[in-house]
Structure 1
């Protein structure tokens, strides 16, 4: 959001409109008044919204139907109907209640995830400038209507088809439609005075009247097939999906095996079918996909509240794997305040400090430095030059001269040239840019150029940003094709200081502690970049590499060069892209920070393109996967920490599910297969209760688990790593087997002392419940002790654990309920024994973690 005090935020129905500034500030004719609110409403009623597809809002009924398609719900429904058929209405009623419970939990999670993603979509909706009611306002792009007057400026994406009604040195890149990469100049009098959605404004400004929106645009008609392209799933999603599929196949095999085995033994088809369905429910890990979706969606939503907008929730997973951060210098490392510290006047060969900027010798230099800037400046350096002009020059001639021709910032190194003219046809031709670029086009001897280069180098070594200023003269309108073809007179240098942001050293230290490299990719010169990098705490042991070296290097040499270099200077789009691709070829996971049109290709190519929300162009934002709203690099560290936290918590949740499913599966199956005295120790009722306990623990509790203390001191994981490696899977299986051993020991102990089936079931059931609660506490960390983990507060874990205990006691001690679950009340001694057995079968893992910490 702009900080201009004239900005007014208006909420109108479902949209947010931002009033920017009156016409006089943009050189737009006052006769362009735009649509009224009434005319907007009429147009929208007739033509609809500016979207390629109609927004399909998923209703609660759709959500419910999708949930009821889940395998677990289908199994529950089958069991319910079996109980109804055999006349066991109490069990059937419980099953229907369980269906409601499981559905409610799934509905809550799905709805929670859906709302989080909807919030992200709203923030990702690009804004467009339009003229309405004689005011320039910013509106969500989908609210553009036919008849609107849209404004497009350098770096903006055009979001509708229309006819140009006003322009100023406007050129557009239409490669998305034509395939031609060069830009085309257009105005209202051109033979082709149309602009099209999906094209990019390269230079200048244009106001166009919207003629087509949404599906009716050229890109809408030829590109609707894009809507059918499915988003590629991430490696983690694929691994989890394959794991769940594998478990489902295992469940089906076990279901059939149990059904056949039980029927051969008992000749009771209904009991055999129920036994098979019970085991199938215990095997199916339906919590995992729910957990993954929840973790990713809520992770992205929480980052949004931190000022980090994620385009796709799966990006959260990649954030935790970043190995290299490539960052711009200006506005990212530095404050972007651009204080004018010195002026070097070539004619007097003098350097002037701020206190002497009103010297007459500087009039021409200050004049041409301002005229070479945009008439309505947005760049901090140009804003400063306008302010210095206001303070030192009298009279102010800005109202007398109009910009009538412009050469945008371009070249290697870059420069820009502006041509102004007043009513008397007096002209001003002013240029500024990288000192090397201005020196190259100036009529100076090599000796004079070397003298100035020495001055430039001295300033650069102190961290100053230096621009060269020149003037020219031309009669007639036969403008050269390139600005470099003008004959320029060198005037001097403007010397800016853009200090590193406060606390930036700590930010980079956190990044280095996390095992992540930092590379600065900037258009500035090597001396300035090196000085600022040193002040900001960026590690650099090698000379800076120039963009031209990157452009000419071989692919093999480039991989080595980019890996060992920290500072890349005088970079242009092709060079930036080559650096990103070289790092990716080396196996790095790259985050690229950028804000300009020229950063677009690199942002798109990086694993995570990061655009700046305040000073970023629409092109940069649309190319990026992540937008930092306040341009603060520290937010990227927050995002990386969040990515690591979420990935670690998903692993904890899945390992918990594996470990707790094993004792349920084996407790249901082994007594049956081994012919023990009570073969059906758990029925569907008990398994469903345990599933209702595990679901929230997995997808709600672990999602809320804070980041571990050492998470940002570890090196990043490889993006290609298997989600659960063999060691981690083995640990979880061993945890599950040890818990199983404890539960089955309790079973045999109870039988040995003469307990009946009901009391044995109660002891086994309580042991498993206690083990489940302890396991959820122990698995909060696979490194730190359970006592250390208590320092990371997770109120949901305490709440759900407490609720499970209350329900367990309710089942044991409320007679109608205990009868229904076929259990009986236990004595304090028996409860203590259950707790002791479960503690031994779970807390042994604390000894394993102790050895891990000591090793």
Structure 2
């Protein structure tokens, strides 16, 4: 049953949203109580408003996905040609044309793979069960049965089953990174917040699909199914239209233009042949079909698809898994990369990078939770446990700690709080052993206190209170500090405030550590006075070192990188500086509130000049992508959370993280990074540019060859000549040349300096003036020599099949030599170092020669294609003409292209 807007919702009543309303008033408006709903009332609401599930989208069937590959103007012309040849009884031509069309459609169908499953990926994030209070007692129910007004209990490890307003909390922290981009769990409470607070700032709410990291709580359901935050993302994702790639748009436009020209010339041929030369109608139709088959580059779609598929394989070797073929080509024209911060530019693994005591500022190397790293003070390596203040701090953060480090294969992780995992990793790097301590009492972390304290019996039998938490809360409980020798001295509050400000300005999360000797065996808040402050710990979600280098590569390639994150502006700016996000060093930070207030026109200007966007929501990310595209940018969007999915789908290229990304994000993306490494994007862009270069080379090779064949047929009718080629012979030339020679261009290595040139203009025509000149020139040269060869053979009174065989050989040999020209657009192809750089090209020419020998000499091929065996001397002139054309094109490169 479809979801409806619940009665009494803020949208209907004009009440403030749930996060801005007092909890008691909210319960009253929902006609619910802390004792929950009755079974009868819940059933009534479920019947009225539907289940707590996301709507299933319609999926295209296999036949629909297959036949959409026939939706091309040039394919329509080929199908019409097949129909006419069938009516004329030329069944061989009919079946060959249909085989070509089916071959192209099959390649597209197979390479495209499965249809998108982004919405199914989001549905998989939803909880399966919930602990609900019905009829005054707690019971386990399927999450789909939840309704607005239900009272739900949350515990550590639970997946939140619906959007809900918190009524009671106890040390409750919820992992919301998939929804908000926050790198650490959010501390929750029951206090209402401002009505315009962003999702990440609604501390009194728990959202469907997020994970309870610690603590417990009780809440009332405020939204289910499509009305939840994740449901709104689902609706946004289903409404986002993926846009066509630059190559797709250009090829569609080119197909329409070429179709008009071909149809017009074919009609002109019919009129001239009938009115001026008195051709028979059947012969004229065959000539017109021959011209259409010759002029249509039916091998081009297959070559483009195969070239892209080879690029996909090459990228997969570099850990970039491509889900949609066209994305490979689009990578080459990217002008802006919008990157999520957490897990993309950073590791999404908290790391203690600095410790400040009265002895100095200690720098700690190593990233993530892997317990390997060194301690340095003023550039000098040292043993941590031999430094009195540092050893005392490590004792506090290691022992007053409830987390565990885990190792799976070579990957390290943490069971428990990420921040505590970072502190435990710090202790492990120092070689500290906490197993010899005995915990006597503990005050767990509470959001009201913002600290954790434990009473521990040390290995020597003495007892100490160990305290760690927010620096401001610890400073007010301390009266002394440890000096460099580990002795107590009077507290210098100004010094610690300066150090705290310095660490915070770097975007670090700062914790403090303190201790106190005691004889007591119990621990209460009153005991946490007259403590001794030991030091501060700076914790960061560290930038990926390889990402910094990749960003520099992108700047060199004329690509701007923008960070879009749910984190706070200060943290984002600090990471941006560390990543050297701006090529000129100037960072412009914009918050989600500013995005919200901006009109679409204003946002275009903001998006163009800014490079960091903080505290953003999924709607903000989507608007930013649209604004950049409206500015004419080709946008790549990276991300790993479901909050990134709509923007990934809208972007020209959506790039998801394969390891830490959600299924929804992967299914919405065009490319998935198997290593979650931003540097892989730079490698993929280089590969994309190379692929586009090779596609252009293929187009520049195929179109002149088709132009030459079309010219042969057109000239024959215009001048009343016997047709030099039959339609089936033209199809032979097209297919063997495409399968061998044109395919070889897909293996061309990258041009020198591929990442040192600016992105190509996606609005530029795929056929530039120079391309049109080259196509016209080569078409005239190859077509001209083929007609001359045919006319010379006829003048020498050889039979028609031999003359046509000679014409076909001339076409094929000229195209084989022209392949050498096409391997480099402007560079001389005859230099030794370049001539043999692509061994596949020479293999392809060898295969082509074998196929052509079979075409000429095998009896069944002679019967199929109407050819005759040639004396060996008859091969010399076609080869010589092909060599002459190759040398002329190299001269044309030298004079014009360079």
Both proteins in one fold, TM over 0.5: yes
Change (3 A) 1:223 1:744: same
Q: Which moved more, 1:59-68 or 1:694-703?
A: 59-68
Contact 1:591–1:609 at 8 Å: present in 2 too? yes
Change (3 A) 1:439 1:725: farther
Contact 2:240–2:646 at 8 Å: present in 1 too? no
Match of 1:683 in 2: 726
What's the TM-score once normalised by structure 1's chain length?
0.66
2:624 counterpart of 1:613: no
Change (3 A) 1:248 1:257: same
2:318 counterpart of 1:280: no
Per-residue CA distance 1:37-60 (angstroms, 9 max, x = gap): xxxxxxxxxx9x998247666279
Per-residue CA distance 1:615-654 (angstroms, 9 max, x = gap): 5567876776543221323311221012112222222222
Match of 2:22 in 1: none
CA distance in 2, matches of 1:692, 1:378: 62
2:74 counterpart of 1:78: no
Q: Which moved more, 1:221-230 or 1:265-274?
A: 221-230
CA distance in 2, matches of 1:820, 1:648: 37
Q: Aligned to 2:512, what secondary structure does the other structure show?
A: strand
Alignment of 1:339-488 (within 5 A): 340=352, 342-345=354-357, 355-356=384-385, 359=388, 367=396, 382-388=420-426, 391=432, 406=447, 417=450, 431-432=469-470, 451-452=495-496, 454-455=498-499, 467-469=510-512
Match of 1:750 in 2: 793
Change (3 A) 1:329 1:64: closer
CA distance in 1, matches of 2:688, 2:84: 40
Match of 2:752 in 1: 709
Q: Aligned to 2:873, what secondary structure does the other structure show?
A: helix
Task: Give the drift of 1:174.
Answer: 10
Match of 1:7 in 2: none
CA distance in 2, matches of 1:563, 1:163: 38
Task: Give the drift of 1:833.
Answer: 0.7
Q: Aligned to 1:712, what secondary structure does the other structure show?
A: coil
Match of 1:633 among 673, 678, 690: 678
CA distance in 2, matches of 1:215, 1:558: 28
Per-residue CA distance 1:464-491 (angstroms, 9 max, x = gap): 956243899xxxxxxxxxxxxxxx9987
CA distance in 1, matches of 2:291, 2:353: 77
Match of 2:847 in 1: 803
Greater relative contact order (Cα 8 A, min sep 6): structure 1 or 2?
2
2:794 counterpart of 1:765: no
Match of 2:62 among 53, 58, 61: 58
Q: Aligned to 1:687, what secondary structure does the other structure show?
A: helix
2:616 counterpart of 1:573: yes
Task: Give the drift of 1:303.
Answer: 2.8
Alignment of 1:492-507 (within 5 A): 492-495=535-538, 507=550
Match of 1:654 in 2: 699
Match of 1:247 in 2: 258
Change (3 A) 1:53 1:275: same
2:876 counterpart of 1:847: no
Q: Aligned to 2:752, what secondary structure does the other structure show?
A: coil
Per-residue CA distance 1:219-257 (angstroms, 9 max, x = gap): 999988986976432333122112112222222222222
Match of 1:105 in 2: 103
Match of 1:785 in 2: 828
Alignment coverage as a number of residue pairs: 735
Contact 1:52–1:214 at 8 Å: present in 2 too? no
2:260 counterpart of 1:271: no
Q: Which moved more, 1:769-778 or 1:329-338?
A: 329-338
Task: Give the drift of 1:548.
Answer: 7.4
Q: Which moved more, 1:779-788 or 1:365-374?
A: 365-374
Q: Aligned to 1:706, what secondary structure does the other structure show?
A: coil
Match of 2:10 in 1: none
CA distance in 2, matches of 1:65, 1:608: 21
RMSD: 6.2
Q: Aligned to 2:355, what secondary structure does the other structure show?
A: strand
2:709 counterpart of 1:664: yes
CA distance in 1, matches of 2:775, 2:764: 18
Task: Give the drift of 1:663.
Answer: 0.9
Match of 1:722 in 2: 765
Change (3 A) 1:342 1:596: same
Change (3 A) 1:547 1:379: farther
Contact 2:198–2:615 at 8 Å: present in 1 too? no
What's the TM-score once normalised by structure 2's chain length?
0.64
Alignment of 1:79-228 (within 5 A): 80-84=85-89, 92=91, 94-95=92-93, 98-99=96-97, 101-102=99-100, 105-106=103-104, 109-114=107-112, 117-118=113-114, 168-169=172-173
Change (3 A) 1:592 1:724: same
2:874 counterpart of 1:830: yes
Per-residue CA distance 1:773-829 (angstroms, 9 max, x = gap): 22333212213333454444353x445433332232223234564365444333333
CA distance in 1, matches of 2:805, 2:576: 71
Match of 1:307 among 301, 319, 328: 319
Alignment of 1:491-530 (within 5 A): 492-495=535-538, 507=550, 510-517=553-560
Contact 1:663–1:736 at 8 Å: present in 2 too? yes
CA distance in 1, matches of 2:894, 2:310: 33
2:249 counterpart of 1:238: yes
CA distance in 2, matches of 1:633, 1:367: 36
Match of 1:319 in 2: 331
- Unaligned stretches of 5+ residues in structure 2: 1-50, 130-141, 147-151, 181-194, 363-376, 405-413, 456-464, 480-490, 516-530
Change (3 A) 1:464 1:789: same
Change (3 A) 1:71 1:691: farther
Contact 1:336–1:498 at 8 Å: present in 2 too? yes
Contact 1:171–1:183 at 8 Å: present in 2 too? no
Contact 1:438–1:469 at 8 Å: present in 2 too? no
CA distance in 2, matches of 1:820, 1:581: 55
Match of 1:36 in 2: none
Contact 1:742–1:838 at 8 Å: present in 2 too? no
Match of 1:741 among 757, 760, 784: 784
Q: Aligned to 1:786, what secondary structure does the other structure show?
A: coil
Task: Give the drift of 1:681.
Answer: 1.4
CA distance in 2, matches of 1:561, 1:160: 35
Change (3 A) 1:268 1:443: farther
Match of 1:42 in 2: none
Match of 2:46 in 1: none
Task: Give the drift of 1:673.
Answer: 0.7
- Unaligned stretches of 5+ residues in structure 1: 1-46, 85-90, 134-144, 408-415, 473-487
CA distance in 2, matches of 1:171, 1:501: 22
